[in-house]
Protein backbone atom coordinates (compact mmCIF):
# COMPACT_ATOMS: atom_id res chain seq x y z
CA UNK A 1 0.00 0.00 0.00
CA UNK A 2 1.28 3.53 -0.73
CA UNK A 3 3.44 5.15 1.96
CA UNK A 4 3.98 8.80 2.81
CA UNK A 5 7.70 9.31 2.40
CA UNK A 6 10.00 12.24 3.17
CA UNK A 7 13.15 12.24 1.03
CA UNK A 8 16.02 14.50 2.14
CA UNK A 9 19.00 14.88 -0.22
CA UNK A 10 17.89 14.88 -3.85
CA UNK A 11 21.32 14.87 -5.52
CA UNK A 12 22.78 12.52 -8.12
CA UNK A 13 21.50 9.47 -6.27
CA UNK A 14 18.59 10.77 -4.19
CA UNK A 15 16.89 12.53 -7.10
CA UNK A 16 16.32 9.44 -9.24
CA UNK A 17 15.62 7.28 -6.16
CA UNK A 18 12.82 9.63 -5.08
CA UNK A 19 11.50 9.64 -8.65
CA UNK A 20 11.27 5.83 -8.60
CA UNK A 21 9.28 5.96 -5.34
CA UNK A 22 6.81 8.33 -7.02
CA UNK A 23 6.57 5.97 -10.02
CA UNK A 24 5.74 3.12 -7.65
CA UNK A 25 2.78 5.12 -6.32
CA UNK A 26 4.18 6.46 -3.05
CA UNK A 27 3.51 9.99 -1.87
CA UNK A 28 6.93 11.64 -1.66
CA UNK A 29 7.72 15.02 -0.12
CA UNK A 30 11.33 16.08 -0.61
CA UNK A 31 13.91 18.66 0.32
CA UNK A 32 17.40 19.61 -0.82
CA UNK A 33 19.50 22.68 -0.01
CA UNK A 34 20.21 23.12 -3.73
CA UNK A 35 17.17 24.71 -5.42
CA UNK A 36 17.97 23.07 -8.80
CA UNK A 37 17.97 19.61 -7.23
CA UNK A 38 14.62 20.30 -5.56
CA UNK A 39 13.15 21.63 -8.81
CA UNK A 40 14.31 18.56 -10.77
CA UNK A 41 12.70 16.28 -8.18
CA UNK A 42 9.48 18.31 -8.36
CA UNK A 43 9.45 17.75 -12.14
CA UNK A 44 9.54 14.02 -11.37
CA UNK A 45 6.48 14.27 -9.11
CA UNK A 46 8.09 14.88 -5.71
CA UNK A 47 6.28 17.46 -3.63
CA UNK A 48 8.82 20.18 -2.80
CA UNK A 49 8.95 21.13 0.88
CA UNK A 50 10.21 24.46 2.23
CA UNK A 51 12.61 22.75 4.66
CA UNK A 52 13.74 19.31 5.76
CA UNK A 53 11.65 19.65 8.90
CA UNK A 54 8.57 20.54 6.89
CA UNK A 55 9.15 17.48 4.67
CA UNK A 56 9.10 14.99 7.56
CA UNK A 57 5.92 16.25 9.20
CA UNK A 58 3.29 13.60 8.58
CA UNK A 59 5.70 11.11 6.96
CA UNK A 60 5.61 7.35 7.69
CA UNK A 61 9.20 6.93 6.53
CA UNK A 62 12.09 9.41 6.29
CA UNK A 63 14.76 8.57 3.69
CA UNK A 64 18.09 10.41 3.62
CA UNK A 65 20.70 10.37 0.82
CA UNK A 66 23.38 12.79 1.99
CA UNK A 67 27.12 13.29 1.48
CA UNK A 68 28.47 12.20 4.90
CA UNK A 69 27.66 11.17 8.46
CA UNK A 70 27.89 14.71 9.80
CA UNK A 71 25.06 15.78 7.50
CA UNK A 72 22.85 12.92 8.67
CA UNK A 73 23.56 13.50 12.37
CA UNK A 74 23.17 17.28 12.05
CA UNK A 75 19.80 16.94 10.34
CA UNK A 76 18.51 14.28 12.75
CA UNK A 77 19.41 16.33 15.81
CA UNK A 78 20.19 20.04 15.32
CA UNK A 79 18.05 20.08 12.17
CA UNK A 80 15.19 18.83 14.27
CA UNK A 81 14.04 15.94 12.06
CA UNK A 82 13.74 13.52 14.98
CA UNK A 83 11.71 16.08 16.93
CA UNK A 84 9.49 17.02 13.98
CA UNK A 85 8.57 13.48 12.92
CA UNK A 86 5.55 11.59 14.28
CA UNK A 87 6.51 9.06 16.99
CA UNK A 88 7.29 5.68 15.45
CA UNK A 89 8.52 7.08 12.13
CA UNK A 90 11.02 4.84 10.33
CA UNK A 91 14.29 6.65 9.53
CA UNK A 92 16.17 4.97 6.66
CA UNK A 93 19.58 6.42 5.88
CA UNK A 94 20.84 5.35 2.44
CA UNK A 95 23.97 7.54 2.48
CA UNK A 96 27.41 5.93 2.73
CA UNK A 97 28.74 7.05 6.14
CA UNK A 98 31.04 5.97 8.98
CA UNK A 99 29.85 2.86 10.80
CA UNK A 100 30.18 4.78 14.08
CA UNK A 101 28.01 7.62 12.73
CA UNK A 102 25.42 5.12 11.50
CA UNK A 103 25.23 3.60 14.97
CA UNK A 104 24.95 7.06 16.56
CA UNK A 105 22.13 7.94 14.14
CA UNK A 106 20.28 4.72 15.06
CA UNK A 107 20.63 5.46 18.77
CA UNK A 108 19.42 9.03 18.40
CA UNK A 109 16.40 7.93 16.35
CA UNK A 110 15.44 5.20 18.81
CA UNK A 111 15.93 7.51 21.80
CA UNK A 112 13.51 9.96 20.14
CA UNK A 113 10.88 7.20 19.85
CA UNK A 114 11.47 6.20 16.23
CA UNK A 115 12.73 3.21 14.25
CA UNK A 116 15.95 3.23 12.23
CA UNK A 117 17.69 1.34 9.44
CA UNK A 118 21.02 1.99 7.72
CA UNK A 119 20.66 1.02 4.07
CA UNK A 120 23.61 2.16 1.92
CA UNK A 121 23.59 1.19 -1.73
CA UNK A 122 25.77 -0.02 -4.54
CA UNK A 123 24.96 0.41 -8.21
CA UNK A 124 25.76 4.10 -8.73
CA UNK A 125 23.75 6.73 -10.56
CA UNK A 126 22.92 4.27 -13.37
CA UNK A 127 21.40 1.89 -10.83
CA UNK A 128 19.56 4.72 -9.07
CA UNK A 129 17.96 5.80 -12.35
CA UNK A 130 17.11 2.27 -13.49
CA UNK A 131 15.83 1.22 -10.06
CA UNK A 132 18.40 -1.59 -9.91
CA UNK A 133 20.36 -0.62 -6.78
CA UNK A 134 21.48 -3.16 -4.21
CA UNK A 135 20.70 -2.18 -0.60
CA UNK A 136 22.75 -3.43 2.36
CA UNK A 137 20.68 -2.97 5.49
CA UNK A 138 21.43 -2.83 9.21
CA UNK A 139 18.76 -2.78 11.93
CA UNK A 140 15.97 -4.93 13.31
CA UNK A 141 13.87 -7.49 11.41
CA UNK A 142 10.72 -5.41 11.80
CA UNK A 143 12.45 -2.27 10.54
CA UNK A 144 13.83 -4.14 7.53
CA UNK A 145 10.41 -5.61 6.73
CA UNK A 146 8.81 -2.19 6.99
CA UNK A 147 11.36 -0.66 4.59
CA UNK A 148 11.38 -3.51 2.08
CA UNK A 149 8.53 -2.34 -0.20
CA UNK A 150 10.24 1.05 -0.57
CA UNK A 151 13.65 -0.51 -1.18
CA UNK A 152 12.06 -2.76 -3.81
CA UNK A 153 10.79 0.34 -5.65
CA UNK A 154 14.35 1.71 -5.86
CA UNK A 155 16.44 -1.43 -6.26
CA UNK A 156 16.59 -5.03 -7.41
CA UNK A 157 17.99 -6.51 -4.22
CA UNK A 158 18.02 -5.76 -0.48
CA UNK A 159 20.19 -7.78 1.88
CA UNK A 160 19.56 -7.64 5.63
CA UNK A 161 23.14 -7.76 6.97
CA UNK A 162 22.48 -7.59 10.72
CA UNK A 163 21.98 -5.05 13.50
CA UNK A 164 22.55 -1.27 13.47
CA UNK A 165 25.55 -0.34 11.31
CA UNK A 166 25.79 -3.74 9.60
CA UNK A 167 24.71 -2.28 6.25
CA UNK A 168 27.51 0.29 6.34
CA UNK A 169 29.93 -2.40 7.52
CA UNK A 170 29.05 -4.64 4.56
CA UNK A 171 29.42 -1.76 2.13
CA UNK A 172 32.89 -0.67 3.30
CA UNK A 173 34.19 -4.24 3.68
CA UNK A 174 33.10 -5.05 0.11
CA UNK A 175 34.67 -1.88 -1.25
CA UNK A 176 37.87 -2.53 0.70
CA UNK A 177 38.13 -5.87 -1.12
CA UNK A 178 37.48 -4.07 -4.41
CA UNK A 179 40.01 -1.27 -3.82
CA UNK A 180 42.74 -3.68 -2.78
CA UNK A 181 42.01 -6.06 -5.66
CA UNK A 182 42.02 -3.27 -8.27
CA UNK A 183 45.45 -2.16 -7.07
CA UNK A 184 46.61 -5.79 -7.11
CA UNK A 185 45.36 -6.39 -10.66
CA UNK A 186 46.90 -3.09 -11.82
CA UNK A 187 50.28 -3.85 -10.26
CA UNK A 188 50.24 -7.27 -11.94
CA UNK A 189 49.54 -5.76 -15.37
CA UNK A 190 52.36 -3.21 -14.96
CA UNK A 191 54.75 -5.93 -13.79
CA UNK A 192 53.65 -8.08 -16.74
CA UNK A 193 54.34 -5.20 -19.14
CA UNK A 194 57.87 -4.82 -17.85
CA UNK A 195 58.39 -8.59 -18.19
CA UNK A 196 57.23 -8.52 -21.83
CA UNK A 197 53.91 -10.22 -21.10
CA UNK A 198 50.96 -9.05 -23.21
CA UNK A 199 47.81 -7.79 -21.53
CA UNK A 200 45.76 -10.42 -23.36
CA UNK A 201 48.00 -13.29 -22.27
CA UNK A 202 47.89 -12.28 -18.61
CA UNK A 203 44.14 -11.79 -18.88
CA UNK A 204 43.59 -15.18 -20.54
CA UNK A 205 45.52 -16.93 -17.80
CA UNK A 206 44.39 -14.99 -14.70
CA UNK A 207 40.72 -14.64 -15.63
CA UNK A 208 40.36 -18.42 -15.77
CA UNK A 209 42.72 -19.12 -12.87
CA UNK A 210 43.05 -18.13 -9.23
CA UNK A 211 43.69 -14.46 -10.03
CA UNK A 212 40.10 -14.10 -11.20
CA UNK A 213 38.14 -11.26 -9.62
CA UNK A 214 35.69 -8.49 -10.59
CA UNK A 215 38.50 -5.93 -10.91
CA UNK A 216 40.08 -8.15 -13.58
CA UNK A 217 37.25 -9.80 -15.44
CA UNK A 218 34.61 -7.03 -15.47
CA UNK A 219 36.41 -3.73 -14.81
CA UNK A 220 39.76 -4.71 -16.37
CA UNK A 221 42.13 -1.71 -15.88
CA UNK A 222 43.93 -2.07 -19.25
CA UNK A 223 42.25 -1.60 -22.63
CA UNK A 224 41.60 -4.66 -24.80
CA UNK A 225 40.65 -7.81 -22.93
CA UNK A 226 37.23 -6.63 -21.64
CA UNK A 227 35.69 -4.31 -24.28
CA UNK A 228 33.10 -2.85 -21.88
CA UNK A 229 35.57 -1.83 -19.18
CA UNK A 230 36.26 1.92 -18.58
CA UNK A 231 39.89 1.47 -19.77
CA UNK A 232 38.49 1.27 -23.31
CA UNK A 233 36.61 4.54 -22.89
CA UNK A 234 39.24 6.95 -21.59
CA UNK A 235 38.65 5.73 -18.02
CA UNK A 236 35.29 7.49 -17.93
CA UNK A 237 33.45 6.26 -14.77
CA UNK A 238 32.01 3.71 -13.98
CA UNK A 239 32.91 3.92 -10.36
CA UNK A 240 34.61 7.28 -9.93
CA UNK A 241 37.94 7.32 -8.07
CA UNK A 242 36.80 9.99 -5.54
CA UNK A 243 33.92 7.70 -4.47
CA UNK A 244 36.35 4.79 -4.01
CA UNK A 245 38.63 7.10 -2.03
CA UNK A 246 35.69 8.11 0.16
CA UNK A 247 34.64 4.52 0.86
CA UNK A 248 38.22 3.43 1.61
CA UNK A 249 38.53 6.40 3.98
CA UNK A 250 35.46 5.12 5.85
CA UNK A 251 36.96 1.61 5.84
CA UNK A 252 40.24 3.00 7.23
CA UNK A 253 38.35 4.81 10.01
CA UNK A 254 36.66 1.54 10.94
CA UNK A 255 39.94 -0.41 10.71
CA UNK A 256 41.62 2.01 13.11
CA UNK A 257 38.64 2.14 15.49
CA UNK A 258 38.51 -1.66 15.63
CA UNK A 259 42.28 -2.06 15.92
CA UNK A 260 42.34 -4.50 13.01
CA UNK A 261 45.70 -5.17 11.32
CA UNK A 262 44.55 -4.35 7.77
CA UNK A 263 47.75 -3.05 6.19
CA UNK A 264 46.54 -3.37 2.61
CA UNK A 265 43.22 -1.69 3.34
CA UNK A 266 44.98 1.28 4.95
CA UNK A 267 47.52 1.49 2.10
CA UNK A 268 44.74 1.27 -0.51
CA UNK A 269 43.00 4.18 1.21
CA UNK A 270 46.21 6.27 0.96
CA UNK A 271 46.82 5.40 -2.69
CA UNK A 272 43.23 6.16 -3.70
CA UNK A 273 43.16 9.41 -1.71
CA UNK A 274 46.23 10.63 -3.65
CA UNK A 275 44.85 9.39 -6.99
CA UNK A 276 41.44 10.98 -6.43
CA UNK A 277 43.02 14.34 -5.61
CA UNK A 278 45.25 14.20 -8.68
CA UNK A 279 44.89 12.49 -12.06
CA UNK A 280 41.91 10.45 -10.95
CA UNK A 281 39.65 13.35 -9.95
CA UNK A 282 37.24 12.66 -12.83
CA UNK A 283 38.28 9.12 -13.72
CA UNK A 284 37.12 5.59 -13.09
CA UNK A 285 38.97 4.00 -10.15
CA UNK A 286 40.69 1.55 -12.56
CA UNK A 287 42.70 4.51 -13.94
CA UNK A 288 45.07 4.00 -10.99
CA UNK A 289 46.95 1.57 -13.27
CA UNK A 290 48.37 4.60 -15.10
CA UNK A 291 49.69 6.10 -11.87
CA UNK A 292 51.37 2.81 -11.02
CA UNK A 293 52.91 2.70 -14.54
CA UNK A 294 54.10 6.33 -14.22
CA UNK A 295 55.63 5.77 -10.82
CA UNK A 296 57.39 2.70 -12.20
CA UNK A 297 58.94 4.87 -14.90
CA UNK A 298 57.83 2.44 -17.59
P1 LIG B 1 25.25 14.44 -4.19
O2 LIG B 1 26.25 15.41 -3.67
O3 LIG B 1 24.89 14.48 -5.62
O4 LIG B 1 23.88 14.57 -3.34
C5 LIG B 1 23.82 14.89 -1.98
C6 LIG B 1 22.73 15.93 -1.82
O7 LIG B 1 22.51 16.19 -0.43
C8 LIG B 1 23.08 17.28 -2.46
O9 LIG B 1 22.12 17.60 -3.44
C10 LIG B 1 23.08 18.25 -1.28
O11 LIG B 1 22.60 19.54 -1.62
C12 LIG B 1 22.15 17.55 -0.32
N13 LIG B 1 22.27 18.01 1.06
C14 LIG B 1 23.38 18.14 1.83
N15 LIG B 1 23.07 18.59 3.04
C16 LIG B 1 21.73 18.74 3.07
C17 LIG B 1 20.81 19.19 4.05
N18 LIG B 1 21.20 19.58 5.28
N19 LIG B 1 19.49 19.23 3.73
C20 LIG B 1 19.07 18.86 2.50
N21 LIG B 1 19.91 18.42 1.52
C22 LIG B 1 21.21 18.38 1.81
O23 LIG B 1 25.81 13.00 -3.79
P24 LIG B 1 25.33 11.58 -4.35
O25 LIG B 1 26.23 11.15 -5.45
O26 LIG B 1 23.86 11.61 -4.57
O27 LIG B 1 25.66 10.64 -3.11
C28 LIG B 1 24.85 10.61 -1.94
C29 LIG B 1 25.34 9.49 -1.05
O30 LIG B 1 25.28 8.25 -1.75
C31 LIG B 1 26.77 9.65 -0.57
O32 LIG B 1 26.86 9.23 0.76
C33 LIG B 1 27.55 8.72 -1.49
O34 LIG B 1 28.73 8.23 -0.90
C35 LIG B 1 26.53 7.61 -1.70
N36 LIG B 1 26.72 6.84 -2.94
C37 LIG B 1 26.93 7.48 -4.12
C38 LIG B 1 27.08 6.75 -5.27
C39 LIG B 1 27.30 7.43 -6.61
O40 LIG B 1 27.64 6.75 -7.58
N41 LIG B 1 27.11 8.74 -6.73
C42 LIG B 1 27.02 5.35 -5.23
C43 LIG B 1 26.78 4.71 -4.02
C44 LIG B 1 26.63 5.48 -2.87
**Pairwise CA distance, residues 128 & 223, whole Å:** 27
CA of 165 to the centre of ligand 1 (A): 19
- Res 1: pLDDT: 86
Q: Could you read off the pLDDT of 274-285 as tens digits, one per residue?
A: 999 999 999 999
Give the pLDDT confidence of 151-172 residue by residue, as tens digits: 999 999 999 999 999 999 999 9
Q: Which residues line ligand 1 (CB under 6 A)?
A: 8-14, 31-34, 37, 52, 65-67, 71, 75, 95-96, 121, 124-125, 243, 246
Buried b (16+ CB within 10 A) or exposed e, 133-150: bbbbbbbbeebbebbeeb
Active site residue 246: no
pLDDT at 78: 83
Q: 79 or 198: which carries more pLDDT confidence?
A: 198
The better pLDDT of the pair 298, 140 is held by 140
C-alpha to C-alpha distance for 110 and 263, rounded to whole angstroms: 36
Mean pLDDT of 36-41: 98
Mean confidence (pLDDT) of the chain = 97
* pLDDT exceeds cutoff 90 at 298: no
CATH architecture for the domain at 169-296: Orthogonal Bundle (1.10)
> Cα separation of 120 and 133, whole Å?
10
- Say whether pLDDT at 264 is over 80: yes
Catalytic residue among 23, 156, 157, 171: 171
Q: Which CATH architecture has domain 4-163?
A: 3-Layer(aba) Sandwich (3.40)
DSSP per-residue codes, 180-227: HHHHHHHHHHHHHHHTT--HHHHHHHHTTSTT--HHHHTS-SSSSSST
Residue 128 has pLDDT above 90, yes or no: yes
Ligand 1: which residue has its CA nearest to atom 33?
A: 96
* Res 88 pLDDT > 90: yes
Rounded Cα distance between 235 and 285, Å, is 8
Length of the chain: 298
Ligand 1 nearest-atom number relative to CA 13:
26
> Does the complex come out with an ipTM higher than 0.95?
yes
> Looking at the predicted structure, is the pLDDT value of residue 79 above 80?
no
Instruction: Inform me whether the pLDDT recorded for 183 exceeds 80.
Output: yes
Question: Using CA positions, which residue lies closest to atom 25 of ligand 1?
Answer: 12
Q: Domain locations in the chain? A: 4-163, 169-296
- Res. 7 pLDDT band, cuts 50 70 90: very high
Helix (H, G, I), strand (E, B) or coil at 79: coil
Contact 200, 225 (CB under 8 A): yes
pLDDT digits (tens, 9 = 90+) for 211-247: 999 999 999 999 999 999 999 999 999 999 999 999 9
What is the rounded average pLDDT of the residues 246-263?
98
- Rounded to whole angstroms, how far apart are CA atoms 109 and 43? 31
Amino acid sequence: EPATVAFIGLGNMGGPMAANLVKAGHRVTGFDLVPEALAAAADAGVEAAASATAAVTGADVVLTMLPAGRHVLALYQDGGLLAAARPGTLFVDCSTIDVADARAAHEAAVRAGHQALDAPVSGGVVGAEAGTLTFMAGGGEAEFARAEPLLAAMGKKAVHCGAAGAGQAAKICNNMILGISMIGVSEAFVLGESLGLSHQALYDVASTASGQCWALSVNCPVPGPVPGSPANHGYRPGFAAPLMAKDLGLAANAVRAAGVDAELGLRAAELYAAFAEGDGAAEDFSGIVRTIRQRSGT
